[in-house]
Structure formats: C-alpha cells, structure tokens
Amino acid sequence: MNQAPVYSVTQVNQYIKSLLDCDGALSGLYVCGEISNYKTYPSGHHYFSLKDPEGAIRCVMFRREAAGLRFRPENGMKVIAFGRVTVFPRDGQYQLYCTQITPDGVGDLHLAFEQLKTRLYQQGLFDQAHKKPIPKMPGRIALITSSAGAAVRDMIRILGARWPMAQVLVLPVRVQGQEAPGEICAAIAWANRYRVADLIITGRGGGSMEDLWAFNDEAVARSIYASELPVISAVGHEPDVTISDFVADLRASTPSNAAELAVPDQEEVRAWLSQMGARMSQAVERRLDGARKELERAGHCRALQAPMNYINDRRMLLDFQRDRLAHGLNRTLSRERERFARTAAALDALSPLKVLGRGYAIAQKPTGKVVRSVVEVQTGEELCLRLADGTLNCQVK
C-alpha cells in the first residue's frame, strides 16, 4: 500500500493560492460592505475588513493604489471595493487585494469635499476672525488663473472699465489636472514673497466638479489661508462652491463678480467726489458768511471805534476798585485794633500781678511750686513770698 504524500503548510497555502489566482471570477470583482478595523501603517499600506450582517472579509490596499484615493476611508463607511481575492501564504488566510474604493451611494469627490470641509472647519480655517479686509482702492491686483480662459479676459475687461488706475498682473497657472494645485500654491506663495500686489484674485470659469477640483485641494486651501495678502476666490458659477471659497477672505460668485468686488466703479467715485466737493464748497461759504457777519459786528464795537474811551473807562474802574480796597482795609484794621484792645484788657484783669497789687502774696517753695495748703509745708522749711514789688525769703516756725 502506497503511503499518501505529506505536504508542508507552505505547500498547501501555495496550492490554494494558485487555485484562487486561476479563478477568473476572483481575479477582479466588486465587493460591497462596511469598513471596520481600518488601519494605516507607516509603510503607506491600508488594512481593513469589509463586513455585512452575516460575514466579513479581510482587505488590503497597497500604498500605490491608496495614493489615488480622493477621500479618507473611515470605520462604519459603506463602500464598494474592487480587487482580486487570493491567499497570503504566510498566514494562510485569503483576503481582498483592493485597487479601487468608492463610497456606496455617494460619489467619492463629494465625500472627499465634505470630509475636507469638516476637517478644515474644525481647525478654524473658515473662522471669520481670520478674514483680512479687502482694500477699497487697490493699486495692484494679481490674477492667479489660466491665461487662456475666458475668465481672465472678463476680469481684465471689468477691472479696466471700473478702475483703470489699478495695475493688473496675471500669474498664469493651470486650473485643472494633477499639476494645477501645485502651480496655484506656488503662485500664491510667490505673490506674497515679493509683494507684487495689494490683492489676489484666484479662480476659474465654470465646469464639472472634477474640473473645479483643484480649488478643493487641501494644499490650495492652506496656501490661501496662509496668504498675508487678501484673497478673493472666484470659482465657477453662482451655484458652484469650493473649499477655496470658505477659506478665502471674500467669495465671489463668478470671476466677473470678483472683478466688481475688487475695485470701486470710477463713475460712482467721480459722483461721490463731486458731491463731496459741493458739500465742502457750501461749508466753506457758510464759514465765510459767518466770519463776515462777525467782522461787521466787530466793526460796530465801541472799543474798536474809540479805543481810548475803553481805556479811560477801565482807569476809572481801577480807581474805584482801589478806593474800595483801601476803605475795606481801613475798616478791617479798625476792627482788629478794637478786638486787640479788648483782649489785652481782659488779660490784664486776669493777671496775677493785679492780685498782688491789692495786698496779696504767693507762697512758693524753693523749687517754684506754689503752696496751696498748710499741709504742704513743714516747720523749718524755707519759703519764698512773692509780693507786688518783690520777694521775701521766709522760714516756717
């Protein structure tokens, strides 16, 4: 009896892999499911699972294919993945090697737009506090757009008609295709570095969402946000909205509208200047009329007609005031003299010398202390008696 051959694990896995690789149905199929366990490794490869209510399949998307994704896959997102089913021999597990992933039920461009808009909004790039004011009368304007499109011609025509004093500089860039975002970013950076303008207008004419996608690029949005020069975004037609519109300092519905918003209308400015000139003339005329009337009133003033009369009046008033002042001082001195005399008389009446003059004496100890009671002295103690005309040294017996 012949013994059955024994295979290694690797041989079995390789055999199963060859079977799956030869199956045409598994070499390219679409799989619909919900993303779970989504992970991105430093190598750039994406690993995840697709699941439905009754099962799951492991998936991998290598860096080269993942670089073409326009949206960011997330757990719970329902997608349709295209790829081939095969076995990874090392693990012995089959998985779907994805080359394409598209959202189920919504376009990948629309989803990428919403994801980027949400992320930049959360980071504050749409905040009104960061919006720079648009200069009212810019001297230089940089147009970052295609030099071959109708949009640039419309903007140049409108700018020339409305405000011919402004210098217009066209920075030609591609506005469609893979190279467009990089060129737009470079043009914005160059305009800021060399300060070539007071204002930047960037945009293009209308088109599909794919045509306008350069202005939904994250790098373009961050370049507009970082621009020190104010930026007007003018992309597509009125209904078209791009990420650049949210980030820019001002959004214009069309390139033509951007030119209208960027500069004032010279006819309106002329009318305004004419109106201001008329108002200034009227104000000056009113001031002159008032000054004439004031001069006429001054001409009839008595002080100007006879200046010495005014001086003589002031001399008389000065004499009168001097007399009043002298009279007031004399009255004040008289009152003070009388008050002084009364005070001196009162003090003289209370003087101890007056009491001594009436025959009284003051007994004092050698220390000068006045003796007020007999209990304050002792026999033999010396005292000083002060009389009206002198003092006596006495001894108590």
Per-residue pLDDT of the chain (397 residues; tens, 9 = 90+): 567 787 777 777 787 777 777 776 787 888 888 888 899 988 889 999 888 888 888 999 998 888 888 778 888 788 888 888 888 877 788 889 898 888 776 566 777 787 888 889 999 999 999 999 999 999 999 999 999 989 999 999 999 999 999 999 999 999 998 899 999 999 999 999 999 999 999 999 988 878 888 999 999 999 999 999 999 999 988 888 899 999 999 999 999 999 999 999 999 999 999 999 999 999 999 999 999 988 888 777 776 677 777 787 788 888 889 989 999 999 999 999 999 988 888 887 777 666 666 667 788 888 888 888 888 888 888 888 887 778 888 888 8
> Is domain 9-105 classified as CATH 3.30.1370.100?
no
- Let me know: does 142 contact 201? Beta carbons within 8 Å: yes
In the chain, the amino acid numbered 123 is Q
Q: Within 13 Å of residue 251, how many CA atoms lie on the same side as its CB?
A: 17
pLDDT of residue 303: 67
Alpha helices in the chain (DSSP H): 9-22, 63-66, 108-122, 150-162, 180-194, 218-226, 243-247, 255-262, 266-299, 302-305, 307-349, 352-357
Rounded-to-integer distance, Cα 293 and Cα 296, Å: 5
The pTM for the full model equals 0.56
**How many other CB atoms are found less than 10 A from the CB of residue 145?**
27
pLDDT attached to residue 105: 64
The pLDDT score that the predictor gives to residue 285 is: 93
Instruction: Quote the tokens at residue 382.
Output: 């010396």
- Give the residues across from 40 on adjacent strands: 46
Q: Which fold has domain 141-264?
A: Rossmann fold (3.40.50)
pLDDT of residue 265: 94
Handedness of CA 310, 314, 320, 323 (dihedral sign): negative
Is 141-264 in the same CATH topology as 9-105? Answer: no
All structural domains of the chain with their residue ranges: 9-105, 141-264, 272-320, 352-395
